[in-house]
Amino acid sequence: MAINERPLSEVRFLTVAEVATLMRVSKMTVYRLVHGGELPAIRVGRSFRVPEQAVHDYLRDSYVETA
């Protein structure tokens, strides 16, 4: 289900630090993904919030099978 199909009250937003922990990468990597347009985010003041489903979608779409 796309983020924009859900009522906003049901969307769970994560901080950059939470996304980094979930993905097991640095915060800088998350910022690069956000600024590069690979990971959607909204700006709240000077910080970003990423919809949790967007993180799961990104990881699912980035999954690479090996031989």
Q: Quick one: which of 46, 45, 20 has its CA closest to 31?
A: 20
Task: Report the pLDDT averaged over residues 52-65.
Answer: 90
**For residue 4, what pLDDT is reported?**
56
13 vs 9, residue with greater confidence: 13
Q: Spell out the domains of the chain, with CATH numbers in brackets.
A: 3-62 (1.10.1660)
18-54 residue pLDDT tens: 999 999 999 999 999 999 999 999 999 999 999 999 9
Q: Quick one: which of 28, 26, 29, 30 has its CA closest to 54?
A: 30
Q: What is the pTM of this model?
A: 0.81
Contact 51, 16 (CB under 8 A): no
**For residue 52, what pLDDT is reported?**
96
Contact 60, 29 (CB under 8 A): no
Number of other residues whose CB lies within 10 A of the CB of residue 50: 23
**For residue 7, what pLDDT is reported?**
77
